[in-house]
A and B are shown apart, each in its own frame.
Chain A
Amino acid sequence: MIHGNVVGLQARMSLMIIAPEGSGVEIECVIDTGFEGFLTLPPSVIATLELPYLININANLANNSSVETDVYLATIIWNGIERNIAALAMGRRPLIGTALLEDYHLGIDFCEGGTVLVDEIL
């Protein structure tokens, strides 16, 4: 079970990212159900963590523009388990997408300070 909170009508949740040299860094992310990937991270965070470069792709944004995006390899702790996921270098606020939530239940109480809960599907 993973907990977060609603802040300013955004469902936020902390994600533990393991840097290649082994230290863990907690990053606050917004859960974005309009994002079908795993994770976006600001380029400055990727540079600080020295995440390894993986690949370049096209991503389609809300204004229907396609942007070429650098993708990096991020090792995270998700529900207690270490996972390797694709992190897109973009934006100023880290986003958690639906690929990371796949096969999980997401519950959000949409009021200031409300509970965000990611849990196994019963």
Chain B
Amino acid sequence: MSHPTLSNQEVARRGKELYEESIRAKVETQENIGKIISINVETGDYEIGDDLVETSLRLKSKQPNAALWGERIGYDAVYAVGGTLLRTAQ
């Protein structure tokens, strides 16, 4: 069990939708490419940084049970586990 009220699929769906529709255009700047963004999928609040633990804990300090979705800005996944991260930003 990951999040108490939202399923994994729902966290992912809301997170991807928020990122694509209202966050990506603001944060996908040259200096942010490759950085981590953690998004609170219930409030739209987000934190950007170099470390997934730090950005996620910053959001959880405001709302301990927050449902969070993470992205690597400008790429199609946060980590490669044997695969390759594909750059999606120009």
Binding site for B on A (CB under 8 A): 32, 34-37, 40, 53-66, 68, 70-71, 73, 84-86, 88, 90, 95, 97, 99
Contacts and interface: CB of A to CB of B under 8 A. Distances in A.
Looking at B57, B70, B71, the one whose CB has the most chain A CB atoms below 10 A away is B70
Contact of A37 (B12, B81, B84): B81
Interface residues of B, number: 29
Given A68-B8, A70-B8, A59 B78 contact: yes
Interface residue SS majority, chain A: strand
Interface residue SS majority, chain B: mixed
A34 B77 contact: no
A64 B81 contact: no
A64 B80 CA distance: 9
A59 B79 contact: yes
B77 A62 contact: no
B81 A62 contact: yes
Nearest to A47: B1
B74 interface: no
B38 A60 contact: no
Contact of A61 (B11, B68, B69, B83): B83
